Structure 1
């Protein structure tokens, strides 16, 4: 249509008319990121044709939750703004954080998992999930513009906590997948805003307990299995730093059933191996206090390190050599590299002149 502006620059770059054009990066362009200001409308056209026949999005009832769970992630591409109400604004803002065109360093689906692609279609069915998603959008906006946590983000996070508390008081909503997902979204707010490890630990513990209460003999839904898969990594990290989350072998067997860890998958096999680290740490402390045999501990540590390195090589050769690597495979491989560095440092602390360990350390770094 003649006369309709076709520019896709953000509001700041369009208003200032700088010599260098906006680079259209999402969620924030390079210039706004450099200045630390909010970037609005980057990569979006100011005027577009809208199909008037687009139906308004209906609020999902509890009876439709089961049918929504079977919808594939391809529906992410079909979401569009059909009206200007708050629900549509929230959906569009959430989709921008996980859209494939969003840069990887700001793409939450790449960082936390593709299960986030199934969240937009569930917005509107649970108040706790809606408020938690709104808080996550605000935290992500602060993170993308590289500025400290704002009062608006803190207020929305506080509202999300209140809404979650009310949902937990309801026997029906407290066990719903939407409420569990709201808890998980709050852990992401903690990560993006750096609001403290203590609350992050409590959120993850709560989510695991809620999944445990949902255990039934019926098959696990796909969305619920995605939530299980996401929680495996935070629980693993917290088992190292949170004493209440350190797991004995018997407790790990129970947790593996709750989180549906499949020992046959390479990524899950690595997680099972890494969950042995807390017991190794306890064994190491016993050696330091003279309560355990040092040689036996070193043999166990070396054996675990060798097994971990073999598992990392297997994951790399099978999943990391393709032209496009999926985020669900980079997570286990990243854990392998991180904990391989830790094991290498522990072994070099005992054998500082071991040249093989020094060479491996250089490769890992």
Structure 2
């Protein structure tokens, strides 16, 4: 028999455990100008049959539970240009999901070009098979055995491909690694304590021949994969990329076509070579870094102010469904703003090492933390995929917060977001980063907020608690 939950609150209020007045839309959603879904409606829970004969129907039922309205006819024209096979059809069906909570476009626009590349790379085919098999189940983590089986096969196929020097340099191989890391984040199958095969991706990026990049697909995937490499380099000292590489990627990004309308929208002016310096600044801060950090901080602070004003004046989208193009557009801009203020908060904390007790920097740090908390609440209705960036923002806010009440609030929201991707220990990363910041602040003679009960008796993983230790090599490498 179906269960009957007692709460009739909307999805957004239920996500952050707030009381909902059950109006349509509710008062909180109206105030925040976000979608109000499910307010005042009775919910039911249905159990799928658990038998081998019902496996196919169960998977189909779960897929239908996720799939909202399809894309426009223009998207389906892509399907007519790819080989007519089951794998390509499955991937196209998955990519045609527009609900921001589950849309794979979150991982990059270039994914729409993968179907026409199937059949030319065994590693890419195996990675796509693992992806489409796991996708219908990732939102409730009830993965069938075949999802794990295809994930294992994709790893074996990738290892075989890397033995071929020509195929190892192929952009298809790089794409296969990326798709495997996506499956990895869903399945929670990690070979070490890190969240991705960052070393393998960095190695393949170094092998890339930028003179042979001739398509948007090749350019976009290199730009997309450079960002997680930078993030992982913060906790993994074995990832070292030459400044020349980031300059080349930045040039690729600058060469991408931009519509005139997009040029009118305020965006971050910080270039990739500057962002690439963050891992070294956080791991090995020196007084010689002060001019670069200060210049980058001022640029980010000014850009974030313009983006905040633009968001405040954003035309009301109404309470449309999460597959609406306007909702998708606004959520992407919110993600850009949240990411930018997170970078600003990191630089702000490093500047406080050189300017201890500076009241302006402290006030701006508190403001950035409050903004991250607000963005986390606003993005809650887009979870899991549409708000996947929020966890990393909260990690930085948790590490940088000075006020104990603000820290408690961030800790509570971070614990809630942890449920979206349970296998990634965001709290451990927050503790590691706070210790890094605290080490610098203590050297400068600045008092830091004691972690107290928040740290508790948690034992950090060896590769996170000790900044000088190195993580083990990933299974791909």
Common fold, TM-score beyond 0.5? yes
The residue correspondences of 1:136-151 to structure 2 (distance < 5 A) are 136-147=131-142, 150-151=144-145
The answer to whether the Cα contact below 8 Å between 1:76 and 1:118 also exists between their aligned partners in 2 is no
Q: Take 1:223 and 1:300, find their aligned partners in 2: how far apart are those partners?
A: 33
Aligned to 1:233: 227
After superposing the two structures, state which structure 1 stretch, 218-227 or 178-187, moved more: 218-227
Number of residue-to-residue matches in the alignment: 295
Aligned to 1:253: 244
Does the C-alpha gap of structure 1 residues 143 and 258 become closer, same or farther in structure 2, counting only changes over 3 Å? Answer: same
Q: How many angstroms does 1:112 deviate by?
A: 0.8
The answer to whether the Cα contact below 8 Å between 1:187 and 1:200 also exists between their aligned partners in 2 is no
Q: Take 1:93 and 1:169, find their aligned partners in 2: how far apart are those partners?
A: 29
Give the secondary-structure state (helix, strand or coil) at the position aligned to 1:230: helix
- Structure 2 unaligned blocks of 5 or more: 5-36, 38-42, 51-57, 65-72, 257-266, 318-325, 374-477
Does the C-alpha gap of structure 1 residues 257 and 357 become closer, same or farther in structure 2, counting only changes over 3 Å? Answer: closer
* Cα deviation 1:44-93 (Å, max 9, x = unaligned): 7xxxxxxxxxxxxxxxxxxxxxxxxxxxx94545527x99x9x41x3333
Give the secondary-structure state (helix, strand or coil) at the position aligned to 1:269: coil
**2:343 is the alignment partner of 1:339:** yes
The answer to whether the Cα contact below 8 Å between 2:110 and 2:220 also exists between their aligned partners in 1 is yes
**2:105 is the alignment partner of 1:95:** no
Aligned to 1:361: 369
Q: Take 1:135 and 1:237, find their aligned partners in 2: how far apart are those partners?
A: 25
Q: How many angstroms does 1:156 deviate by?
A: 1.3
Aligned to 1:106: 102
Aligned to 1:311: 303
Aligned to 1:58: none
Q: Take 1:152 and 1:263, find their aligned partners in 2: how far apart are those partners?
A: 42
- Structure 1 unaligned blocks of 5 or more: 1-15, 20-24, 45-72, 287-292
Q: How many angstroms does 1:209 deviate by?
A: 3.4
The answer to whether the Cα contact below 8 Å between 2:246 and 2:276 also exists between their aligned partners in 1 is no
Aligned to 2:127: 132
After superposing the two structures, state which structure 1 stretch, 222-231 or 350-359, moved more: 350-359
Q: What's the TM-score, normalizing by structure 1?
A: 0.64
**2:209 is the alignment partner of 1:215:** yes
Q: How many angstroms does 1:310 deviate by?
A: 2.0
The answer to whether the Cα contact below 8 Å between 2:75 and 2:96 also exists between their aligned partners in 1 is no
The answer to whether the Cα contact below 8 Å between 1:177 and 1:224 also exists between their aligned partners in 2 is yes
The answer to whether the Cα contact below 8 Å between 1:33 and 1:144 also exists between their aligned partners in 2 is no
* Cα deviation 1:88-145 (Å, max 9, x = unaligned): 1x333322332243x2121111x21111111122222222111111111233233122
Q: How many angstroms does 1:345 deviate by?
A: 5.1
The answer to whether the Cα contact below 8 Å between 2:119 and 2:125 also exists between their aligned partners in 1 is yes
Aligned to 1:69: none
The residue correspondences of 1:272-311 to structure 2 (distance < 5 A) are 272-284=273-285, 293=287, 301-311=293-303
The answer to whether the Cα contact below 8 Å between 1:270 and 1:336 also exists between their aligned partners in 2 is no
Q: How many angstroms does 1:305 deviate by?
A: 2.6
Aligned to 1:62: none
Aligned to 1:181: 175
Give the secondary-structure state (helix, strand or coil) at the position aligned to 2:197: helix
Q: How many angstroms does 1:180 deviate by?
A: 2.0
* Cα deviation 1:275-327 (Å, max 9, x = unaligned): 2222322443x5xxxxxx5xx76676454333222233455667994763177
Q: Take 1:300 and 1:362, find their aligned partners in 2: how far apart are those partners?
A: 26
Q: Take 2:3 and 2:134, find their aligned partners in 1: how far apart are those partners?
A: 28
Give the secondary-structure state (helix, strand or coil) at the position aligned to 1:124: coil
Q: Take 1:260 and 1:36, find their aligned partners in 2: how far apart are those partners?
A: 53
Q: How many angstroms does 1:172 deviate by?
A: 3.7
Does the C-alpha gap of structure 1 residues 133 and 141 become closer, same or farther in structure 2, counting only changes over 3 Å? Answer: same
Does the C-alpha gap of structure 1 residues 261 and 172 become closer, same or farther in structure 2, counting only changes over 3 Å? Answer: closer
Q: How many angstroms does 1:363 deviate by?
A: 3.0
Does the C-alpha gap of structure 1 residues 311 and 150 become closer, same or farther in structure 2, counting only changes over 3 Å? Answer: farther
Aligned to 1:118: 113
Q: How many angstroms does 1:178 deviate by?
A: 2.0
Measured on the aligned residues, the alpha-carbon RMSD in Å equals 4.3
